[in-house]
Amino acid sequence: MLRFLLPLLLSLITLTAHAEVQTREITYRVDSTEFTGYLAFDDAISGKRPGVLVVHEWWGHNAYARKRAEMLAALGYTAFALDMYGTGKLADHPEDAKAFMMAVTGDMPEMKKRFQAGLNMLINHPSVSPGKTAAIGYCMGGGISLNMARAGADLDGVVVFHGSLGTSEPVKPGAVKAEIMVFTGAADPFVPQEQVLAFEQEMESAGVSYTLTSYPGAKHSFTNPDADGFAQRFNMPLAYNEAADDDSWRQMQKFFIRIFR
């Protein structure tokens, strides 16, 4: 019996070893500036699958953004964590992060260009079905993803994790193509209740399909386990919230299953 089972066991071991998330750094250019993104996908899945763009926090394209890309790949998607700042631009202090962020968010045409370049890298990967794409963003990346949806980005969905919801130019009816899902912390001073209410009124007035979940007691960066360390080092109102992190990720998975059906 063993000699009949052995080939089967060996084939299963080989298949298990092969069915892993593949990752690679990819450098690309936007005009004269070089950027470094991070691609993740499961090469054991045959055929094309939806693609998800990951937009990083104000600290820059770091290990956290890459981890989220890997988690998405493990769910069966191809994920690309783009770079909004440029190769090697990582902040280790809030003042540097703020300067990097303002240089990008203060120039809407450049922000669109960098976002679209990352989206193109995702769409052009042979494993991605170009007609099935979404973007997720954290903090600054959430605000950027939302603003790209407001600008009419060709996406099926956008998921905002503790990102800014404010805008000086409320969206007009028919402008948003993506369905929007927002997760925010009720105790986040960077996204106060007035901003949340204004966002909901904006979406409803424009007829945008959206959902918003506000977690009682959750502070800014509630999905990032490194938030507590940042809070202690820089005396910032940040805190990781495991329950909110887990719930928002579960809801995102259901959202993707529905919009990509």
- The CATH class of 22-259 is alpha beta
Placement of tokens 């820089």 in the chain: 234
Taking the C-alpha atoms of residue 73 and residue 184, their distance in angstroms, rounded to an integer, is 24
Per-residue pLDDT band for 5 (boundaries 50, 70, 90) equals very low
Strand partners, 22: 41
Residue-wise DSSP of 65-121: HHHHHHHHHHTT-EEEE--SS-TT---SSHHHHHHHHHHHHT-HHHHHHHHHHHHHH
Distance CA 96, CA 107 (A): 17
Mean of the pLDDT values across residues 31-48?
95
pLDDT at res. 14: 41
Q: What is the pTM of this model?
A: 0.92
- Going from the C-alpha of 97 to that of each of 60, 85, 100, 103, 227, the distances in angstroms are 7, 10, 5, 10, 14
Task: Tell me the pLDDT of the chain averaged across its residues.
Answer: 93
* DSSP structural state of residue 219: -
* Amino acid 197: pLDDT: 98
Please say whether the beta carbons of 193 and 216 come within 8 A.
no
Q: What percent of the chain has pLDDT over 70?
A: 93
* Inter-residue contact 36 to 29 (CB < 8 Å): no
163 versus 17: which is more confidently predicted? 163
Selected residue with higher pLDDT from 90 and 14: 90
Per-residue model confidence as pLDDT tens digits over 236-249: 999 999 999 999 99
Average pLDDT over residues 196-221: 98
Partners of 119 in the β-ladder: none
- Name which of 62, 38, 194, 202 is nearest 121 in CA terms: 38
Per-residue pLDDT at 19:
59
Average pLDDT over residues 35-57: 96
Model pLDDT for residues 100-157, shown as the tens digit of each residue:
999 999 999 999 999 999 999 999 999 999 999 999 999 999 999 999 999 999 999 9
pLDDT the model gives residue 58: 98
CA dist 201 → 58, 163, 198 (Å):
27, 17, 5
pLDDT score of 29: 97
Q: Is the pLDDT of residue 48 over 60?
A: yes
CA-CA distance, 232 to 203, in Å (whole number)? 36
Which of 151, 106, 121 has the alpha carbon at shortest distance from 61? 121
3-state secondary structure of 180: strand
What is the b/e burial string over 129-164, where b = at least 16 CB atoms within 10 angstroms of the residue's CB? eeebbbbbbbbbbbbbbbbbbbbebebbbbbbbbbb
| Residue 16: pLDDT over 90 | no
Classify the phi-psi angles of 76: left when phi > 0, otherwise alpha if psi is within -120 to 50, otherwise beta. Answer: left
Q: Cα 196 from chain centroid?
A: 20
8 Å CB contact between 207 and 172: no
